A and B are shown apart, each in its own frame.
Chain A
Amino acid sequence: MTPSENSEIKAQSIPEAKPKKREKIPRQPMPEQAPEDRRHNFDEVPYGYTPELAMLEASRCLDCKKPGCVEGCPVHIDIPGFIRFVKEGKFIEAAQHIKQQNALPAVCGRVCPQEEQCESKCILGVKGESVAIGRLERFCADYERNSGQVQLPEIPPKTGKRVAVIGAGPAGLTVAGDLIKLGHEVTVFEALHEPGGVLMYGIPEFRLPKEIVRAEVAYLKRLGVEFVMDFVVGRNCTIRELFEEEGYHAVFIGTGAGLPSFMGIPGENLVGVYSANEYLTRSNLMKAYLFPKYDTPPIKRNKVAVVGGGNVAMDAARTALRLGGDVSIVYRRAREQMPARAEEIHHAEEEGVKMMLLNNPIRIIGDERHRVVAMECIRMELGEPDASGRRRPVPIKGSEFIMEVDTVIIAIGNQPNPLIPQSMPELQTTKHGTIVVDSETMMTSVPGIFAGGDIVSGAATVISAMGQARTAASSIHRYLSGEPLKKSQQ
């Protein structure tokens, strides 16, 4: 049953409960595909709430006077506000309410680490389980999209100011959405052939259906955002030229962290060793899993080792599993130190991904045709805490062992893409290659040029990129309106 088929459901169907009674309602789980089924397909894992479940879950919200959840949200969505609409069965209104602060609710409802953000601040979470804010957000966005009733907000008259957004990822799309609604003209430049950035190439279909990303982009297009694909700023033109020749008044750089890190161990250039970026891009953006309908061949192998413990490692492992491999995650620290969301680790294990914790690869072994046949690892133990506060893994002497693999996927992180900083030396960067910005305004060392997302913070999350992008968008608006950029200057 799709939500739209059930749109006649009204608030009356769930009686208004008194707060005390409400607390007795448990947090509603989301129905999802059984692990045994989903490990064989690329369909999305959770089916999402039904309207009934959504209203039931919404009824748990206490509607606090000082809502902690809003504080916990990087883009400050009025969470109690939209949940109020859900309680009343006004799902479309709820979705529109979210969209005032968040241009991509269907995406964020799926990929945000809510347990560390809004939901971690929910008062219900202190004693029991917090309101499932992410699931409700996802429900509202899906409901609106499936209803075909996506409404466009009123857009103020054109300001005549033009903004160039570089990179159509989460940060770029957010900036574009915010600024178009303020009456500015926005052009988004994207190097790849489809907008969406990491939402398109990185996050797998079973976690974020690409139709959703396309729908979000289509929404921005309807608002009037112009998308220029196959355009590499730094190659096709410089940022200087965007100002001087193309007549843009401000530029936002949201080019992300798209330079894969490798371990620097022997054998990393063997055939069968992939960066997670490559592996995931082949599957997600190039649709290799639909080969031969799509021309890019998939990487179907038998024994796959994924190196790393983050969300990207989980995505790569679960993709490899779906392509028919026997998949192990090789991670040098312990489970508690894994940076991936608990939910992702859980999903991966449920589907049959093996966890080889406290193991570190030291060498990849190939045959005479440079094809991977094995990987040598060493066992680790936890030592003293390091700079990140996590206990440092230390190799156990003499514990080397060889595991038979034919594919190794390196998912140990990304560095910022150097293309733009290289093409504009006056742009200040850190030694890590990230762009230096004023954290209050997100403006770079060059006036009129703003930046946000992974190109500023290094590899982080979709929502933190969007949070920075929102800050940047409001600064850009002030900049274009001739207002002081900082509140302190007002």
Chain B
Amino acid sequence: MNVVIDGKTIEAIKGETILECALRNGISIPHLCTHPALPPFGACRICIVEVEGMRGYPTSCSTPIAEGMVIHTQTEALRLLRRNILGLMMLEHPSACLVCERRELCDKYRPKSEKVGATTGCHTCNNKEVCEVRELSADLGLAEIMVAPKYHYKPVERSEPFIDRDLNLCILCGRCVRICKLHQGKSVIDFVHRSSQTHIGQAFGKNLHEAGCTFCGSCVDVCPTGTLSDRYAKWFGRPDAEIKTTCIYCDEACALTIYAVNNKAVMAKGLYDHLPVCVLGHFAIPEFLNSPNRLRTPQIRVNKVLRPVTSEETVQRCAELLKNYTGTSFAFICDTSSTLEDRHVFKKFTQEVMQSPYYFEIIPDKKGYAKVANIPEEVKAVITTGLFIPQEYRNRFEVVIALDIFPSEWTKSADVVYPVATFAETSGTVLDRNNQLRPLVKACNPPGEALPEWSVIQQIAKTISENWKEYTSVEDISRELGFDSAKLNLDRSSAPPASQNLKERREWFKGHCMENYVTGLVAVRNFEEGNPHEEKTSIKIEVNIPENPEHFTVLSRRELVPNTYEFVIYAPAIARKASPGQFVIVMVDESSERIPYSLSDWDENKGTITLVIQEKGLSSRKMISVMEGERLAHVVGPLGTAFEIKQYGTIAILGGCYGIGAVVRLSRALREKGNKVIVISEARSHYMAYYEKELTAVSDRFIQTTIDASSGEKGHAIDGLKRLLQAGEKIDLIVAVGCPFMMMITANETRDTGIKAVCALNPIMLDGTGMCGACRISVGGETKFACVDGPFFDAHQVDWDEVRDRREAYSAEEIQAISFTMPSTTIQGEHHYHQCSCMGRG
């Protein structure tokens, strides 16, 4: 069957769609709602083509190819149509960044997306680095948003296990709905409501668990935007390695891809288009492996306490301890979570080196629970590779050597503890339930000094016996066993049971209860027990604030614009002394970080201060979770050197993002001093603009700019300023208050004007009084402390790359902190109080 696509004659296959045929032949047609795993849908209409003799513009994803078709995929009309279709779609997606003129500069200055509560633009979107919408809009040359876009103001859903859902980013492509139907055979999620109210959700407002979700994660995998995200993985950025391996949580042995950043597993996905994997395969690997509780250092018992020592000392001690226990007084106990290679070495060690018949391989039960049934009385020394022996048998043994991944009562009472690598940290071969060999491939590094189990045992064997035949690598063992032919389980015909029924999931691994180490599993358990975690919402509750509130009580809290909140706090000692440009440091509770926030406003008579706070990470999330009537632990200020209020002439104050708050009082004070003040406030889109009235009231002229031109002038604040200068306005001083990017472009684009530009810097601080020096920055080659010398500096002299990098100094740790705290009420280990099936044994 021959067709012509873009003038090229092509052999088509009967039954394929135009899109499939074109892609197969290397002709790219832009498309969005189509996904290789899914049947044609034709929802987004991006993939339209022209077919000679056919009316209109058929969607190539759903039109079957036919003999003799003459197809055009790249006509000018199609490009325009596609651009307009995308443009319409972008009216309900935070799209300003797609049409921003400084998009490349922004990507260069901040290549990695920044964590945030609710995403309102690309650089704070967890999907940024792999976004299909961004690629498409670049391909189609989307340059403007035709009418003011709509933001849905839906709260970001963060109380479900594992999955964050921000429906404000959803473009209704239906991929998640379709994959759910395909992988689960039912619609846990579906389109809810109609027309402009349509959104993705569960029927009757049920939570995911009630709706029958098994947390297979397939919906997250196919989402082309940042709407659905893997809560643990979302801020780690683009993985630098993808390794295909086998899941060893159960003997289904699903094939997985492990994604790693800096040799650390951050995300996992099933390798099947047509089938899901279970909750553990998708969500429980990185968090489990990266748990801060992992054993990291070899330890031996010295004077009754376990002491961390070198691996050589540990091995030496093992050899000494074991030398009197050859024969039937020794036993080796492992389970089938160790690789065949590991187990080969264990068995050989037991039989040849220890000359004992007691090599036990426990086969875990359906829940993964692996406990040894009985050990002969004569056994006095054991090596275990997990938590397999109930503690009540501990006193029967004179020597216990524990190779393990997590500490437990067992390791605490052991004579030697050796941390080991497991799962994606090691290579080898495993056997699936059909007795097929499956490869386990190393994808990330084990923690600390942990080593593969076989290599620990081999070191002990070598020390005890001169006759041990040494293996140089795990491949060496595989070859000896004839296992080098193991292949990934790619041709599964049915979904793993746990992916269809959550109750089938394993709960144990190597004798450890997984809920102890994976927060989402605790949340699942809580759902199962009818105690779902509910995040505090911003629903207004009438709060009676007393006449004389305690210091630092929150008197009012409101969401100004998405992800940005205004707090009014009772703090008379600060209100009495505050001046424009100063800041405060807040600690939400006694375990919080100390975070600086600019003073936006204050009222000396009422004793209140006002702060504008953007949710960025853990600390600001804690902050915005404080409700009216509640109290902050500490607020100290006013700190920093106030802006010098004097006669400057005409001043342009540029505000952006969280910085807009600080502009209000600054503008008012400068104007009262007789300056002419022009305030230019920037926002990505009309729904991100705030304080317009307040700023109009305190300035001689107020200009609003938006990047998508949906309100006021188009562009950044600096564009507004440039237009003023072109129009002949004489400006004597420029003040920029906003994020580093906004201040950087203001500095760079005013450098040649000869006008002095001042910026307000807010780096990481601890004390805020000059004691720690964390906030130091280079200004004109000199080191300054932003907390006491600042926050105002000559914008043209600031080293902006350094400002950015110093702000990012703790980003890796902060991302880790976020993963630990969500859902915030289900902290590790707490499940014991909710009667997890492990009953505290894990």
Question: Is A483 on the interface with B (CB-CB < 8 A)?
Answer: no
Question: Is B577 on the interface with A (CB-CB < 8 A)?
Answer: yes
A191's contact among B769, B802, B805, B817, by CB below 8 Å, is which?
Answer: B769
B657 nearest CB across to chain A (Å):
23
What number of A residues sit within 8 Å (CB to CB) of B?
A: 46
Whether the Cβ atoms of B774 and A278 lie closer than 8 Å is yes
Instruction: Tell me the complex Cα distance, A418–B766, Å.
Output: 17
Q: Which chain B residues border A274 with CB–CB below 8 Å?
A: 773-774
B627 nearest CB across to chain A (Å):
19
Question: Given A193-B634, A418-B770, A292 and B814 touching (CB < 8 A)?
Answer: no
Question: Given A34-B307, A262-B773, A275-B773, A292 and B820 touching (CB < 8 A)?
Answer: yes
Question: Is B490 on the interface with A (CB-CB < 8 A)?
Answer: no
Question: Given A269-B778, A277-B772, A281-B771, A262 and B817 touching (CB < 8 A)?
Answer: no
Whether the Cβ atoms of A295 and B593 lie closer than 8 Å is yes
Question: Is A30 on the interface with B (CB-CB < 8 A)?
Answer: no
Query: Which B-chain residue is minimally distant from A293 (CB atoms)?
Result: B591
Question: Is B767 on the interface with A (CB-CB < 8 A)?
Answer: yes
Stretch at the interface among B139-147, B269-277, B636-644, B682-690: B636-644
Q: Which chain A residues border B774 with CB–CB below 8 Å?
A: 274-275, 278
Q: Which chain B residues border A275 with CB–CB below 8 Å?
A: 772-774
Whether the Cβ atoms of A295 and B308 lie closer than 8 Å is no
Contact with A along B802-830 (1 / 0, CB 8 A): 10011011100110110011000000000
Instruction: Tell me the complex Cα distance, A231–B788, Å.
Output: 16
Instruction: Tell me the complex Cα distance, A36–B310, Å.
Output: 11
B814's contact among A193, A282, A293, A297, by CB below 8 Å, is which?
Answer: A297
Whether the Cβ atoms of B639 and A259 lie closer than 8 Å is no
Q: A34-B302, A286-B594, A419-B770 are in contact. List 20 more A-B contacts (CB 8 A).
A: A37-B307, A201-B767, A201-B771, A236-B574, A237-B576, A258-B767, A260-B771, A260-B772, A260-B773, A269-B799, A271-B808, A271-B809, A274-B773, A274-B774, A278-B773, A286-B593, A286-B766, A292-B821, A295-B619, A369-B805
B247 nearest CB across to chain A (Å):
27
23 residue pairs A–B, Cβ–Cβ below 8 Å: A34-B302, A191-B767, A192-B767, A193-B590, A230-B634, A235-B577, A235-B637, A236-B574, A236-B577, A236-B637, A236-B638, A259-B770, A268-B783, A275-B773, A277-B772, A277-B773, A278-B772, A291-B813, A291-B817, A293-B591, A297-B814, A297-B817, A419-B788
Question: Is B75 on the interface with A (CB-CB < 8 A)?
Answer: no
Q: Which chain A residues border B817 with CB–CB below 8 Å?
A: 291-292, 295, 297
Question: Is B633 on the interface with A (CB-CB < 8 A)?
Answer: yes
Contact with B along A275-290 (1 / 0, CB 8 A): 1011001100111000
Q: Which chain B residues border A298 with CB–CB below 8 Å?
A: 813
Q: Which chain A residues border B809 with CB–CB below 8 Å?
A: 271-272
Which has the most chain A C-beta neighbours within 10 Å: B309, B637, B810? B810
Whether the Cβ atoms of A292 and B773 lie closer than 8 Å is no
Question: Is B305 on the interface with A (CB-CB < 8 A)?
Answer: yes
Question: Is A229 on the interface with B (CB-CB < 8 A)?
Answer: yes
Instruction: Tell me the complex Cα distance, A292–B828, Å.
Output: 11
Instruction: Tell me the complex Cα distance, A474–B617, Å.
Output: 50
Whether the Cβ atoms of B634 and A258 lie closer than 8 Å is no
Whether the Cβ atoms of B633 and A370 lie closer than 8 Å is no
A253 nearest CB across to chain B (Å):
14
Question: Is B592 on the interface with A (CB-CB < 8 A)?
Answer: yes
A370's contact among B307, B590, B771, B802, by CB below 8 Å, is which?
Answer: B802
Instruction: Tell me the complex Cα distance, A277–B767, Å.
Output: 10
Question: Is A207 on the interface with B (CB-CB < 8 A)?
Answer: no
Q: Which chain B residues border A123 with CB–CB below 8 Å?
A: none
Instruction: Tell me the complex Cα distance, A40–B305, Å.
Output: 13
Q: Which chain A residues border B633 with CB–CB below 8 Å?
A: 193
Instruction: Tell me the complex Cα distance, A232–B619, Å.
Output: 23
A258's contact among B308, B587, B770, B821, by CB below 8 Å, is which?
Answer: B770
Q: Which chain A residues border B805 with CB–CB below 8 Å?
A: 271, 369-371
Q: Which chain A residues border B590 with CB–CB below 8 Å?
A: 193
Question: Given A229-B634, A236-B573, A369-B805, A287 and B307 touching (CB < 8 A)?
Answer: no
Whether the Cβ atoms of B591 and A294 lie closer than 8 Å is yes
Question: Is B611 on the interface with A (CB-CB < 8 A)?
Answer: no
Question: Given A292-B292, A293-B591, A371-B805, A269 and B777 touching (CB < 8 A)?
Answer: yes
A421 nearest CB across to chain B (Å):
12
A229 nearest CB across to chain B (Å):
7
Question: Is B297 on the interface with A (CB-CB < 8 A)?
Answer: yes
Question: Is B801 on the interface with A (CB-CB < 8 A)?
Answer: yes
Question: Is A296 on the interface with B (CB-CB < 8 A)?
Answer: yes
Question: Is A429 on the interface with B (CB-CB < 8 A)?
Answer: no
B766's contact among A40, A229, A282, A293, by CB below 8 Å, is which?
Answer: A282
Question: Is B31 on the interface with A (CB-CB < 8 A)?
Answer: no
Q: Which chain B residues border A191 with CB–CB below 8 Å?
A: 636, 767, 769
Contact with A along B417-461 (1 / 0, CB 8 A): 000000000000000000000000000000000000000000000
Instruction: Tell me the complex Cα distance, A282–B772, Å.
Output: 9
Whether the Cβ atoms of B636 and A231 lie closer than 8 Å is yes
- Contacts of B581-608 to chain A: CB distance below 8 A: 587, 590-594
Whether the Cβ atoms of A295 and B771 lie closer than 8 Å is no
A297's contact among B574, B634, B810, by CB below 8 Å, is which?
Answer: B810
Which has the most chain A C-beta neighbours within 10 Å: B308, B587, B809? B809
Whether the Cβ atoms of A259 and B778 lie closer than 8 Å is no
Instruction: Tell me the complex Cα distance, A236–B814, Å.
Output: 32
Question: Is A117 on the interface with B (CB-CB < 8 A)?
Answer: no
Instruction: Tell me the complex Cα distance, A204–B767, Å.
Output: 17
Q: Which chain B residues border A201 with CB–CB below 8 Å?
A: 767, 771
Whether the Cβ atoms of B587 and A277 lie closer than 8 Å is no
Question: Is A417 on the interface with B (CB-CB < 8 A)?
Answer: yes
Instruction: Tell me the complex Cα distance, A271–B821, Å.
Output: 26
What are the 3 tightest A-B residue pairs by CB atom distance, in nearest-first order? A297-B813, A370-B805, A278-B772
Whether the Cβ atoms of A232 and B816 lie closer than 8 Å is no
Instruction: Tell me the complex Cα distance, A417–B574, Å.
Output: 21
Query: Which A-chain residue is minimally distant from B587 (CB atoms)?
Result: A193
Question: Is B666 on the interface with A (CB-CB < 8 A)?
Answer: no
B592 nearest CB across to chain A (Å):
5
B783's contact among A36, A37, A269, A287, by CB below 8 Å, is which?
Answer: A269
Query: Which A-chain residue is minimally distant from B776 (CB atoms)?
Result: A269
Q: Which chain B residues border A230 with CB–CB below 8 Å?
A: 634-636
Instruction: Tell me the complex Cα distance, A275–B813, Å.
Output: 20
Q: Which chain A residues border B808 with CB–CB below 8 Å?
A: 271, 369
Q: Which chain B residues border A232 with CB–CB below 8 Å?
A: 636-637, 639, 769
Which has the most chain B C-beta neighbours within 10 Å: A258, A269, A419? A269
Which has the most chain B C-beta neighbours within 10 Å: A235, A274, A275, A286? A235
Question: Is B618 on the interface with A (CB-CB < 8 A)?
Answer: yes
Query: Which A-chain residue is minimally distant from B766 (CB atoms)?
Result: A281
Instruction: Tell me the complex Cα distance, A232–B637, Å.
Output: 7
A369 nearest CB across to chain B (Å):
5
Q: Which chain B residues border A419 with CB–CB below 8 Å?
A: 769-770, 788
Contact with B along A408-432 (1 / 0, CB 8 A): 0000000001110000000000000
Instruction: Tell me the complex Cα distance, A231–B619, Å.
Output: 22
Contact with B along A362-395 (1 / 0, CB 8 A): 0000000111000000000000000000000000
Whether the Cβ atoms of B771 and A296 lie closer than 8 Å is no
Which has the most chain A C-beta neighbours within 10 Å: B297, B772, B783, B801? B772
Contact with A along B532-548 (1 / 0, CB 8 A): 00000000000000000
- Contacts of B294-351 to chain A: CB distance below 8 A: 297, 302, 305, 307-309
Query: Which A-chain residue is minimally distant from B774 (CB atoms)?
Result: A278
Question: Given A235-B637, A277-B773, A278-B766, A295 and B573 touching (CB < 8 A)?
Answer: no
Instruction: Tell me the complex Cα distance, A275–B771, Å.
Output: 9
B806's contact among A231, A259, A269, by CB below 8 Å, is which?
Answer: A269
Instruction: Tell me the complex Cα distance, A180–B817, Å.
Output: 44
Whether the Cβ atoms of A271 and B806 lie closer than 8 Å is yes
Whether the Cβ atoms of A417 and B769 lie closer than 8 Å is yes
Q: Which chain B residues border A370 with CB–CB below 8 Å?
A: 801-802, 805-806
A368 nearest CB across to chain B (Å):
9
Whether the Cβ atoms of B618 and A295 lie closer than 8 Å is yes
